[in-house]
Amino acid sequence: MSESPCTTGEGAGSHVSDAAARELLEEVVATPSVTGEERACAELLVSFFESHGREAWLDDVGNVRAPADDAVLLTSHIDTVPGDIPVRVEDGGSAETTRDGGGEAAEANEDGPELWGRGSVDAKGPLVAMAVAAVSTGVSFVGVVGEEVDSRGAHHLVEDRAAPEAVVNGEPSGWDGITLGYRGLLAGTYVATSASGHTSRPENNAIQDGMDWWNAVTAAFADDGDEWTPVFERVTPKPIDVQGGTSDDGLSVEATMEVQFRVPPSLTVDEVREVADGELNGGTVRWHDSVPPVMQSPRTEVARAFRVAIREAGGDPRLLRKTGTADMNLYAKAWDCPMVTYGPGDSDLDHAPDEHLSLAAFDRSVAVLESVARTLQGES
């Protein structure tokens, strides 16, 4: 079922208290939603919207759809990676600044309680903050499935509905940070086969062909010794899985590699693929995933609204670029509208065994999202 953009008048939202928002967050974090098993958590969100007088449902792939004012679409993912972290609230430590995986300053820990549990940061904190802000302001919301594996929820969403006027994608950026860019992704499977023979022979076997190809690809994307090039601006080749050996019938040697390349906005995915294919000297690659990089302007109305809202909440806005890939890449490819990624939490804790979220930062992120939504509603 696809929805059409609609306009909700001023005051159409339903107030959600900080205590109620925290209660919903804890319940959502306590409900497991590993990729492929998101339904129970998704139904919690549907119930939350319905309890506040909003229409909501699960679509054909399991996304939570709650359409309303399309001045902005708030969207984040429901699924998490595996990992059992007992859900609990603990007193926070002293305020200190950490660093995220992309080398950007992450939000300072807030004094006060912290919620521990798988998904508290990636991305149930952003997800619930957006659900609360959507109910409070009457804007559109979607909770998508499958982001951690194949982004099937985001793929379905862009095929099933028209572009909104703006998008805020939910991932941890720190309550005072907004993410404007992500690298793209190219993924493939390398396969090589050679006739079996005595190991004393000098000719390459399939395993050596694979090793030679990967070494050549890595060298092709080397930074020529420039250690100051930011990671965001580099191509990062990474083998994900390697298998090889003599076949069961003993007649051949086989090698298989699952590989990924992170692609900076200065290059296209096709350009990276052309370089990788050009280094083949035995073996083939089946490319099975291709996501273009994205870099949004800091001067869009969405980015401006966030800067104002963060300052009003007492923060100093930080503009971030992430070295990974997110659903925002897919939205930017499909929809010609301004967008950013935003959400509470330190992204250095993504998928980590000590994943936890400051509840004070969560509160602030809700206030920021509500302010942004109201600003964009006024501009629509």
CA–CA distances in Å: residue 171 to residues 30, 111, 301: 19, 22, 20
Cβ contacts of residue 19 below 8 Å, gap of 6+?
Answer: none
Active-site choice (100, 147, 176, 370):
147
List the domains of the chain with CATH numbers.
18-183+293-379 (3.40.630.10), 184-291 (3.30.70.360)
* Alpha-helix residue ranges (DSSP H) falling in the chain: 18-30, 39-51, 125-137, 152-160, 206-220, 269-278, 301-312, 327-334, 359-379
> Hunting for tokens 């997800």 — which residue is that?
127
Residue in 3, 38, 79, 100 annotated catalytic: 79
Asked if 174 contacts 344 with a C-beta cutoff of 8 angstroms, the reply is yes
Active site residue 79: yes
**277 noted as active-site residue:** no
pLDDT the model gives residue 95: 38
355 φ, ψ to 5°?
-60, 125
* pLDDT < 70: residue spans in the chain: 1-11, 93-111, 198, 200, 223-226, 380
Radius of gyration (Cα) for the chain, nearest Å? 23
pLDDT at 93: 60
Query: Nearest to residue 319, comparing CAs of 176, 214, 118?
Result: 176
- Phi–psi pair at 364, nearest 5 degrees: -65, -40
Residue 10: per-residue pLDDT:
41
DSSP calls for 210-279: HHHHHHHHHHHT--TT-TTS-GGGS-EEEEEEEEEEE-TTSSEEEEEEEEEEEE-TTS-HHHHHHHHHHT
Q: In this predicted structure, what is the pLDDT of residue 3? A: 60
- pLDDT for the residue numbered 92: 77
